[in-house]
Structure 1
Amino acid sequence: MSATTLTSREFNQDTGRAKKAALDGPVFITDRGKPAHVLLSIEEYQRLTGQHRNIADLLAMPDLPDVDLEIPPRLERAKPVDLS
């Protein structure tokens, strides 16, 4: 695994190069000489986060239990705004 560093300008001008480099390791994208972002392959991201889902899983609505939520009414009134 090798890391690659690109400036923001290089990243914007050649995203294909960045995507290819991300297959071999993280791609650090700098802004004004300082690391600002990291580009990872989806496989590496899933490995790091422990998420192994596919796009269908992400788009599916989860089955959530019913939740009773009681929100009390607000009793205070809005104050008039002085626009003078």
Structure 2
Amino acid sequence: MTTLTSREFNQDTGRAKKEAAKGPVFITDRGRPAHVLLTIEDYMRLAGGSLSLADALAQPEADFDFEPPRITGPIGRPADLE
């Protein structure tokens, strides 16, 4: 378990993320615990659920690369009813 001041967190978020991979990171504000940084896996385990694709995409900081392939040729075909 790691504790960082708000200033330390702001100055070195990379360190905070590395420490969160090992366990919760408590972030203090004026000497008192104010926030906890967790990996998404730890959070989901604690929340007792899984993150849906819609929930993941709805996050304000979501950054997903998605390049769907272009469709060429006809997009439909006659139905085989026999």
Normalised by the size of structure 1, how large is the TM-score? 0.63
1:21-43 Cα shifts (integer Å, max 9, x gaps): 00000000001110000000000
Match of 2:37 in 1: 39
Identify unmatched segments of 5+ residues in structure 2.
59-82
Amino acid of the structure 1 residue aligned with 2:37? L
Identify unmatched segments of 5+ residues in structure 1.
61-84
List, as ranges, runs of 4+ consecutive aligned residues in structure 1 with deviation greater than 3 Å: none
Match of 1:17 in 2: 15
Match of 1:69 in 2: none
Percent identity over the alignment is 72
Give the C-alpha shift of residue 57 in structure 1: 3.5
Normalised by the size of structure 2, how large is the TM-score? 0.64
SS in 1 for 2:3: strand
CA distance in 1, matches of 2:48, 2:54: 15
